[in-house]
Chains A and B, each alone.
Chain A
């Protein structure tokens, strides 16, 4: 809400046309109904603000940058103050606000983790020398095919060169798979194929149970969040349901902003079995009583996004989404939102802000999403892997579901194996498998094992003494590490682990949103110290002091975990005095 001031820069016709595709031709936040009647106002503006991110994507894609004229045009149509829109545009890695001076696509090369160890920086230099526009990118979520690249399109679709090759998972065809069982079997572009492969049976079962029993089932199953925080899913759903029962409208959100370095499970799942996420989100909507589902998918996943868009469109055509989709009077539809390159947007409240068209800055909690989530309304936000678990739970029943895993960590988990293993890739294994066994599943370690990064950049390094560790929530916690999002990134003795740790510190420095002081300056100082390469006892003491403050006083998980990997590397002697 503001009296907008728009500078004299105007958009090109191409920019306007690109924006019109996402915003539609009219029905703006401001409507000139007549020479003497104009409609505007707070409600109209608020209702349209969430279109800012898609509109910025349109500008970026059309011109290769977000020009002042283009920004002005979007701001006028959505009635967003330009300074705020600029603040949003400059928040994301995929958006440029300076004129690149040419109109070439940009090749992003991942320089994190497994890619860094696989010659990413050399590739980057090579491409650049060849005259390509390149960008050193944080993890692109393709760690199983390092070094990863992503081409940010110009007036055309983005693409991942590796997507042109057929994709298989190492366990392809294994009948015991639950979450991955349809991968490579089902046609991900065809709803009928999904149906023939058991699709929508879970939804049917859910509707037989009714919302109350459904929520109870999920609670009893012991299913917990697979994004890293492991919060009990049933508790979350029950909390939203309780809010809906008081008359509030609610949302369910699939958090597919998979950005934790080393993580690629949701990408593989969505690319190869997108309808399962649509079905699972419908079930979540049914259970919680939410009327709107959102899938926030990271911007660097063009194939997954395309497949998901098609799946949602087919589900809508098939009457599975829309008015009364979940029974008389229960409308439900799904909106897909693309992220634009910001790790922090994987944090649930940052993700809400991002969808709403604000900077992806995390909110202080409490209040929690279940009462004050997306648009301030009750929201159940779940990781795709978590949601897809519900399908198996419903079709096979709770006893079958709990036959695998442990009491506290029931069922199976997706593990993203990358780095120095013979067969990197996505694996489904029951909770409780040991780290050593899992590495064997992936063909064993390539070379001599030096360390394993568990749980991603926010996780921690372990060494060979952890090979007997059972991979459960409880065992990893007991041994001071984490499963996180299922990252198992393996380093051998050939790998430059000092560089890897330094890059992790740089990653947090780059990805901190900048909102709170401990994280904004702490991640900077941590990178300065770690990046300098020389760590004496004084430096290590300082890192510990900074880590304590970031862990205690930061707003969100990014700051809380920004020192985990660095401190574990110091503890194991991977860097610092003992290295």
Chain B
């Protein structure tokens, strides 16, 4: 141990973690798989989904590993009965209330269902009469489709729109409890809101609740084929800031643009031009 790192124990293994880094960081360096949903490397942890909880010795309740800084001597269990139970219940609760068919553990680049299966979550236990999210599909412009039936309220879009990146604050959580949802002021249509269509909310959405129209339409046509796509990293053609773009290409057509969340310049965030300004590339002749 030195001044810049702390030593913790995760599932019996000793792990060194840099000061200020989280238990989740420790789990990653120890090779301990931990599910995440509301976490994003480029966002302040909102620690709301609670799927990454772990047991820390001396702590009355479980602890969200994504936001809790590692402290010297912490003894962490990631696979105790309590941990497995809470993770199972969180996944089960979500499955019972929202459409998680497209939800992904972005950190693992895997479907969330992998974890649901792993922990034995069974959302059908609550019966079919239970309240579910029911929001109409919103397609208010040519760039976004918003399907809040898929929203798990992870807050990532709000953070990306707000002071983690874009500082536009077009959307926020409104309402309370089970009725809480993402909304503009008075549920104004997005084109009538502060939205500047940077697409950062869509980029960070882990559930498909927010989608680019290009992806939505291909999915609808059952023609969204990630296995046939390749991603090329390049530099945006607009201003001189040097944002890196990842062009997702299917059938020699750009179908989505993202930016690497670990890129120094963008931290995964783009503006409307970088995100959507590529459409001149192919259809020009």
Residues of A within 8 A of B (CB): 1-5, 7, 68, 71, 81-87, 90-91, 97, 342, 359, 364, 366, 509-518, 520-525, 528-529, 542, 545-546, 548-549, 551-555, 560
From known contacts A509-B177, A514-B175, infer whether A552 and B184 are also in contact, taking CB-CB under 8 Å: no
B94 CB contacts on chain A under 8 angstroms = 517, 521
When the two chains form the complex, which single residue of B153, B168, B174, B178 contacts A86, counting CB atoms closer than 8 Å? B174
How many angstroms between the C-alpha atoms of A202 and B96 in the bound complex?
A: 56
Nearest chain A CB to B71's CB is how many angstroms away? 9
B51 CB contacts on chain A under 8 angstroms = 517
When the two chains form the complex, which single residue of A1, A514, A525, A542 contacts B173, counting CB atoms closer than 8 Å? A514
From known contacts A545-B85, A553-B61, infer whether A83 and B178 are also in contact, taking CB-CB under 8 Å: no
- B171 located at the interface, meaning its Cβ lies under 8 Å from any Cβ of chain A in the complex: yes
B89 x A82 contact (CB < 8 A): no
How many angstroms between the C-alpha atoms of A520 and B153 in the bound complex?
A: 10
How many angstroms between the C-alpha atoms of A525 and B174 in the bound complex?
A: 21
B185 x A555 contact (CB < 8 A): no
For this complex, 6 residue pairs linking A to B, each with C-beta atoms less than 8 Å apart, are: A71-B186, A81-B169, A364-B68, A514-B177, A525-B93, A542-B125
A81 CB contacts on chain B under 8 angstroms = 168-170, 172, 194
From known contacts A513-B176, A517-B152, infer whether A553 and B170 are also in contact, taking CB-CB under 8 Å: no
Q: Which residue from chain B places its CB closest to the CB of A538 in the assembled complex?
A: B125
Number of A-B contacts (CB under 8 A): 172
A517 x B50 contact (CB < 8 A): yes
How many angstroms between the C-alpha atoms of A5 and B195 in the bound complex?
A: 9
Q: B142-178, CB under 8 A of A: which get 1 and which 0?
A: 0000000000110100000011000111111111111
Give 4 nearest A-B pairs by CB, closest first.
A514-B180, A81-B169, A5-B194, A549-B89
B188 x A359 contact (CB < 8 A): no
B223 CB contacts on chain A under 8 angstroms = none
From known contacts A2-B167, A90-B176, A359-B173, infer whether A552 and B53 are also in contact, taking CB-CB under 8 Å: yes
Q: Which of A87, A90, A515, A528 has the most CB of B within 10 A?
A: A87
B194 x A83 contact (CB < 8 A): yes
When the two chains form the complex, which single residue of B47, B171, B177 contacts A83, counting CB atoms closer than 8 Å? B171
When the two chains form the complex, which single residue of B67, B89, B176, B178 contacts A91, counting CB atoms closer than 8 Å? B176
A555 x B86 contact (CB < 8 A): no
When the two chains form the complex, which single residue of A1, A83, A520 contacts B163, counting CB atoms closer than 8 Å? A1
Q: B93-117, CB under 8 A of A: which get 1 and which 0?
A: 1101100000000000000000000
A551 x B90 contact (CB < 8 A): no
Q: Given known contacts A514-B153, A545-B85, A555-B50, what 17 new A-B pairs fall within 8 Å (CB)?
A: A3-B168, A7-B192, A71-B185, A81-B194, A83-B169, A86-B172, A359-B173, A510-B176, A510-B177, A514-B179, A517-B90, A518-B93, A529-B126, A548-B85, A549-B89, A552-B53, A555-B48
A87 x B131 contact (CB < 8 A): no
How many angstroms between the C-alpha atoms of A518 and B179 in the bound complex?
A: 14
From known contacts A518-B50, A553-B50, infer whether A4 and B89 are also in contact, taking CB-CB under 8 Å: no
How many angstroms between the C-alpha atoms of A81 and B168 in the bound complex?
A: 8
B168 x A90 contact (CB < 8 A): no
- B248 located at the interface, meaning its Cβ lies under 8 Å from any Cβ of chain A in the complex: no
How many angstroms between the C-alpha atoms of A522 and B50 in the bound complex?
A: 13
- B35 located at the interface, meaning its Cβ lies under 8 Å from any Cβ of chain A in the complex: no
